[in-house]
Each structure stands twice: as structure tokens, then as C-alpha cells.
Copies of this chain bind each other. A is one copy, B any other.
Amino acid sequence: MSIQLGCGVDTATLDRHSVVPLYYQIQQRLLEQIRSGALKAGEPVPSEQEIAARLGVSRMTARQAVKSLCHLGVAYSQRGKGTFVSGAKLEKNFRQVLSFSEEMEARGAQPRSRVLAFKRIHPNEQVAEALHLSPAEEIIFLRRVRIADSAPLCIEATHLPARLCPKLLENFEPSGSLYRVLGERYGLQVHMADEVAEASVATGAEAKLLRIRGRSPVFRFTRTAYLHNGQPIEFVKSTYRGDRCKVVNRLTRQLEIIS
């Protein structure tokens, strides 16, 4: 057994009276070592037994910490061999559900908006189906040109079930962050979203709003966002300038397909 392996894992003891779970304290400590370069890609993470012995926790707790690294994609386990740091870059955050405002902040750009419409209407067939509504139920409709760094980036048409966010027309300043208001004011937490992207060219009207030439390349997105329980909360159609936007994805190969 290597004496060097655990370097740093036990420089400080765990706080057993903290509300922070032990496995999470251990996970954070390991992440810190990976970030700092003390543990490099391809190198083994301290074994579950070693962590358990050094930190005085049960092996199941140590295991939970190590497994959480695997779930984050930061490490991978090999039976009989050990658990190793993955070469995947930490900074490159795999794609998430981000609102426009969050995405701009993450990029360090200043999000702005020009509101084209903000009103209650009845949904068309596509919207009603996506939101699981009857055509009689009203929706909130919000259409905006989204601006980043003083130039138009996209046209975004958002549809929300009016029942889930009553008085949104009064409560929401439509140039701000919708997700923030939904979370703080209505307790609605977006959990995941299904998104379809298509490659297309701008119509004349779109080109005018986006300040590009007609028939320039654009992305067309159709996105449905869901709460934890699977209830649809938002349906968005948007058109992004092709010259100002890329779609970045991290794909995994889990052939444990649900079949």
C-alpha cells in the first residue's frame, strides 16, 4: 500500500457536528485535490478502505463520497483496480437548463431585452399539447428580442400556463429573469427540459429584428421545460442568430438503455 496516496485527504479532520453530511465533506475535499492538481487525470483516487481508515468513517460513507464523484463525471471506477480521476475538464460545464439571463451571466455578458408582447391569450394547438392544456385554458405569452452586448441575439416566444403563475403580468418585469421570478415568487423550480434544435435560415421579418440579412443561417429551438413531477411549466420557441451562437453538448454513452 502506498503511503503517499492519501496525501491531503487527512490534513484536516471532518466536522462531525456540522449539518453538512460527512460524505459531502469528503467529496468536496477530493474535488479540491483534483482542482488543485494534487490528483491528476488518470491517477487513482484514494481507495474506499483507505478513506474510511484515515478519516474514521465507515466504508459505506467513504464509498458514497467516491461514487458521487463518478456521478459528477469527475472519476470512474474499475472493479478490482480502483477509482481514477477522469480527464474530463471540470470547467466545461455540460449543458444544463439555463434561462437566457443565466446563460448570459455565465458568459459574462449583460442580458437585455426588447419586449414585443406580454399578454394573456389562448394557446394554439401546438402550445396546448406541449403544456398539456385544454385549448380553453389561458396562457401567458411573452415575446422578446434578446440582446447581448448591444446586439440582438435571438427572438424568444415564451408560453406559460396562466394557472400556475397567477398575476404574472403584474409581478414580472418582462426585461428581467423569468426563472428567478418563477422560483422565488411561485415556488416553481424547473428541473429539466426537452429541446429540439433545427438549422434554418431567417425569414425577412426575423432578419429585421435580429439585424441580419434575410436567409442568414439561424437556429430554431423548441423547448419544453418541466417541474420535478414532470408537469410542463414552459414552452419556448426561439430563433437564434447562427453567427452568434453554438450549441455545446456533453453526451454520455450509457447503453444501460431502458428497453
Contact = CB atoms under 8 A, between A and B. Distances in A.
Interface of A: 31, 41-42, 60, 71-74, 76, 78, 84, 86-88, 90, 92-93, 95-98, 189-201, 215, 217-219, 226, 228-231, 240, 242, 245-255, 257-258
Contacts of A251: 95-97, 192-195
Nearest to A28: B258
A40 B95 CA distance: 29
A226 to B, nearest CB: 7
B88 A192 contact: yes
A234 B139 CA distance: 46
Contact of A194 (B191, B218, B249): B249
Contacts of A215: 215
A208 B110 CA distance: 42
A99 B194 CA distance: 21
Contacts of A195: 248-251
A189 B96 CA distance: 25
Given A88-B230, A96-B251, A230-B87, A219 B191 contact: no
B219 A253 contact: no
A97 B60 CA distance: 32
Nearest to A217: B199
B258 A198 contact: no
B76 A190 contact: no
28 contacts: A42-B230, A76-B191, A86-B228, A86-B230, A87-B226, A88-B226, A90-B258, A93-B257, A93-B258, A97-B253, A190-B253, A191-B252, A191-B253, A194-B250, A194-B251, A195-B250, A196-B247, A196-B248, A197-B249, A198-B246, A199-B200, A199-B219, A199-B240, A199-B245, A201-B201, A215-B215, A247-B247, A249-B249
A86 B254 contact: no
B199 A73 contact: no
Contacts of A228: 76, 78, 86
A65 to B, nearest CB: 14
B229 A201 contact: no
